[in-house]
Amino acid sequence: MEICFHKYQGTGNDFIMIDNLNGAYDDLSIDQIIRLCDRRFGVGADGLILINFHSVHDFEVDYYNSDGSKSFCGNGARCSVAFAETLGLNVTDVTFMAIDGAHKAYKKGAMVCLEMNDVSGIESDGEDKVLNTGSPHYVKEVVDLTSEDVVDFGRKVRYSDKYRKEGINVNLMQSKGSDKIGVLTYERGVEDETLSCGTGATACALVHGMSAGSIGENEVFVEVKGGELLVAFEKKTDGSFRKVTLTGPAEFVFSGKIVV
């Protein structure tokens, strides 16, 4: 099968984007997806996204991790909006379907703002936190990220008896003030560190906001290895979070054709 693809990245989180609005790639197999994402034998990416036709919303974001598993991806969703614009879709105010439900988003220049789902609360696992921002995340706050090995720690948590079956993304977070944090991420499905993770940045911002943020509207700047993201949210008195948004760049890298 010959595949026309476009490569995008959002703060270093990179994706293979495929226009499947006409269903041309409906038969793409998991084995083919894994090969396409392979950095030595394929295009190379953290994940692959099919932009599918949807009867109700503007399109569907069909996301696959590099190991072929499915999840919601915040940065991938933002890159999907940027890619959808090149397909002739109006993305000044767009809605799309994803594995965790419908999302709204809009593009402004090189930036894409994505509305995330509400988060009902944050659970504790010892001194660390667990929450779902479209994908499940384990968040540990540390003093200095430069002295941490997120891959070693991430694998221990992700493959622990508690999380092995379903898997979990693992984040290390360092507070850098009331409205800024640094984040490292180990992603399930990639099974390695990624330069950025949108749902992880959101999860860490909410954990930070739980203790440092005030009731009402908050913004947290999130420094990742691939750049910076902005997470905004409304903190409620019951510990929930509403009006959660993730904003950051979504950039075209290159396009081509490959046979798999």
Expressed in percent and rounded to 5, the helix, strand and coil fractions of the chain are 20, 45, 35
The tokens of 67 are what?
A: 């190991």
What's the residue count for the chain?
Answer: 260
Q: Is 204 a catalytic residue?
A: no
Point out the catalytic residue in the list 37, 73, 79, 204: 73
The amino acid at 188: R
User: Tokens 């991938």 identify what position?
Assistant: 76
Point out the catalytic residue in the list 37, 79, 113, 197: 197
C-alpha distances (whole Å) from 181 to each of 65, 87, 116, 192, 219 are 26, 35, 19, 21, 11
Q: Is 197 a catalytic residue?
A: yes
**Cβ atoms of 148 and 142 closer than 8 Å:** yes
User: Measured between alpha carbons, how far is 104 from 94 in angstroms, rounded to an integer?
Assistant: 6
Where in the sequence numbering do the catalytic residues fall?
Answer: 73, 197
